[in-house]
A and B are shown apart, each in its own frame.
Chain A
Amino acid sequence: MAASEHTALQFTPVLSSSSLLAKVHPLVIFNICDCYVRRPDQAERVIGTLLGSVLPDGTVDIRNSYAVPHNESSDQVALDIDYHHNMLLSHQKVNPKEAIVGWYSTGLGVTGGSALIHEFYSREVPNPIHLTVDTGFRNGEGTIKAYVSVNLSLGDCQLAVQFQEIPVDLRMVEAEQVGFDILKTPMVDKIPSDLEGMEASMQRLLALIDDVHKYVDDVVEGHTASDSSIGRFISETVASLPKLLPSAFDKLVNDNLQLCGYLDIGGFLSD
């Protein structure tokens, strides 16, 4: 029973939701999408467990997930609890530090059956996070939202439980390290080699430098309004280049070049 917003009831939040943040790793999104694509024909959505840990500052770090088979009809939801426990044990054999932190379902928003499932997960973990991933792109974009349950009470009597949204941190650092180019196109023909990757990075750096240059030129010529904070950033960056005497710098560079050269030749010879 997801309560409506038009209620004069009092909130007694279980946890101060202003400090709670959910951090989602890209693997979780990949897992959810893969399970959704492979779901059985009669199922409209996929439900599964979220694994991870709670960081010292209260942020919930969601690192892994697995799907749990379920049966859903208009008013009933049945979850395969044995499967859920078996998978949990298997996952914990590999990584004992990963514990249940909540559950996910695909689709936009929270439905009636979700409250029952959330209750089940509340028995496993004190304050489970409910993650919804909209694979239908109903708002024209893939919305990923996280909720916690909050108790609604009137005086001393507890009436209902509401799903309250919490912010989600979707910065995908690991995906960045792999390279979004590999992860966002349907087919990549070749994993880039060292030098190709280097070239791509240098090109991006060059583009950035060009942008900054153009901006500075525009400001000097009066085309764009100057922003002192940006100006300060630029001057700090330029100042952070270490000021070495040209001779010292040349020596440094040449030494390194020599070292690289020797190792390179050594490599070729031993081949």
Chain B
Amino acid sequence: MANNSNTIARSFLQVASTEEVAPPLRVVQIEGLVILKIIKHCKEFSPALVTGQLLGLDVGSILEVTNCFPFPIREEDEEIEADGANYQLEMMRCLREVNVDNNTVGWYQSTLLGSFQTVELIETFMNYQENIRRCVCIIYDPSRSNQGVLALKALKLSDAFMELYRSNNFTGEKLRERNLSWVDIFEEIPVKVSNSALISAFMTELEADSPITQCDYDRLQLSTNPFMERNVEFLIECMDELSIEQQKFQFYYRNLSRQQAQQQAWLQKRRSENMARKAAGEEPLPEEDPSNPIFKPIPEPSRLDSFLITNQISNFCNQINGVTGQSFSRLYLMKALQES
């Protein structure tokens, strides 16, 4: 008897003391309804950028997103801040009444040509992470979707990066220590789409009979010049910003080496003074002098911005790659048509 109760007590204790290890997030499962809602909201307000809240369930290694609602465009006014919070509470309460999952799992935002890697995104992530164990951000690009591609992706910050951000220290050695480079900031999570049986029945019925759809018309369109132009423009801007950051670093390193040279010179002088004093039988002066301004450590500029810029550049390059791939195929198709 005593044994039994001991084992039971121990197992309770064990359960209470072992922390649940959350399985890593592997897949984000979105419902078709959410995709349509996001598309509608982003398209209606394009080119302005909009955001909204995602609701759903966190199940093991799958994050299910079952519904969402848009945020009104926020004015830059203190009073409206409270309104925004009220709106959110009101929406969640109303949706709860019709049995929608009342659980926030992240947010979505629209972007212009993929330029979304900013410090604000990281800060929003950190804010959400305080309250929710697992959250995800869905980025939708309405301009790319005009090309017939569903430009939707799910992102989250990598854990290593989050720890580093909390310590707010982005110097070179810290990053080398943790082996963190610019690819490690954001993690893209694969997206699955699910639909209830009812809606798939309806959609199967409502699908137009024609073998070619609007999607195909968009994809086979020959003129991609405006899109490519804007992409390349943004790329050039990013390159400019990157070169500014590089210059900052060069400046820092030059200052650092100059300071070190000064320190060496001062040290030499101090040492020769000390030798003279020793010869004269006096106390040697200390070899350090923290009050001297040349010993003040120069702060190293944060590498966060350059990492983010590099991320954006890589994004633009990938997009250009994608579009040129499509253009190649279209051009060859045209050539074949013309020849026959």
Report Cα–Cα, A66/B99, bound state, in Å.
Answer: 12
Contact A179 B215 (CB under 8 A): yes
The binding surface of chain A is classed by DSSP as helix
Contact partner of B317 (CB less than 8 A), chosen from A38, A83, A270, is A270
Interface pick from A119-127, A200-208, A214-222, A227-235: A200-208
> A178 at interface (Cβ–Cβ under 8 A)?
yes
Contact B207 A180 (CB under 8 A): yes
Contact A263 B326 (CB under 8 A): no
Q: How far is the CB of A169 from chain B (nearest CB, A)?
A: 11
Report Cα–Cα, A17/B211, bound state, in Å.
Answer: 33
The residue on B at minimum CB distance from A261 is B324
Residues of the A chain whose Cβ atoms lie less than 8 Å from the Cβ of B40: 25, 27, 63-64, 174
Report Cα–Cα, A131/B207, bound state, in Å.
Answer: 20
Contact B198 A205 (CB under 8 A): no
Interface pick from B17-25, B108-116, B147-155, B282-290: B147-155
Contact B325 A194 (CB under 8 A): yes
Contact A187 B338 (CB under 8 A): no
Contact A142 B205 (CB under 8 A): yes
> B335 at interface (Cβ–Cβ under 8 A)?
yes
Contact A187 B192 (CB under 8 A): yes
Category for how many chain A residues contact B: 35 or more
Q: How far is the CB of B153 from chain A (nearest CB, A)?
A: 8
> A14 at interface (Cβ–Cβ under 8 A)?
no
> B98 at interface (Cβ–Cβ under 8 A)?
yes
The residue on A at minimum CB distance from B32 is A183
Q: How far is the CB of B326 from chain A (nearest CB, A)?
A: 5
Contact A194 B149 (CB under 8 A): yes
Contact B325 A176 (CB under 8 A): no
Contact B192 A189 (CB under 8 A): yes
Contact partner of B36 (CB less than 8 A), chosen from A178, A253, A268, is A178
> B214 at interface (Cβ–Cβ under 8 A)?
yes
> A90 at interface (Cβ–Cβ under 8 A)?
yes
Q: How far is the CB of A180 from chain B (nearest CB, A)?
A: 5
Q: How far is the CB of A90 from chain B (nearest CB, A)?
A: 5
Contact B320 A186 (CB under 8 A): no
| CB contact under 8 A between A182 and B333, given known A30-B33, A176-B208, A201-B219 | no
Q: How many A-B residue pairs have CB under 8 A?
A: 216
Report Cα–Cα, A145/B242, bound state, in Å.
Answer: 58
Q: How far is the CB of A60 from chain B (nearest CB, A)?
A: 17
The residue on B at minimum CB distance from A39 is B99
Contact B213 A142 (CB under 8 A): no
> A158 at interface (Cβ–Cβ under 8 A)?
no
Digitize A36-75: 1 where CB-to-B-CB distance is under 8 Å, 0 elsewhere: 1111100000000000000000000001101101000000
Contact partner of A182 (CB less than 8 A), chosen from B193, B313, B317, is B193
The residue on A at minimum CB distance from B313 is A270
> B121 at interface (Cβ–Cβ under 8 A)?
no
Report Cα–Cα, A197/B205, bound state, in Å.
Answer: 23
> B302 at interface (Cβ–Cβ under 8 A)?
no
Residues of the B chain whose Cβ atoms lie less than 8 Å from the Cβ of A205: 212, 216, 220, 333
Report Cα–Cα, A38/B95, bound state, in Å.
Answer: 11
> A159 at interface (Cβ–Cβ under 8 A)?
no
> B201 at interface (Cβ–Cβ under 8 A)?
yes
Digitize A161-186: 1 where CB-to-B-CB distance is under 8 Å, 0 elsewhere: 00000000011111111111011111
Contact B335 A263 (CB under 8 A): no
> B328 at interface (Cβ–Cβ under 8 A)?
yes
Contact B192 A34 (CB under 8 A): no
> A9 at interface (Cβ–Cβ under 8 A)?
no
Q: How far is the CB of B325 from chain A (nearest CB, A)?
A: 5
> A257 at interface (Cβ–Cβ under 8 A)?
yes
Contact A194 B201 (CB under 8 A): no
Residues of the A chain whose Cβ atoms lie less than 8 Å from the Cβ of B331: 253, 256-257, 260
B residues with a Cβ closer than 8 A to A are: 31-33, 35-37, 39-41, 44, 67, 70-72, 87, 90-91, 94, 97-100, 145, 147-150, 152, 190-208, 211-216, 218-220, 228, 232, 235, 313-314, 317-318, 320-331, 333-335, 337-338
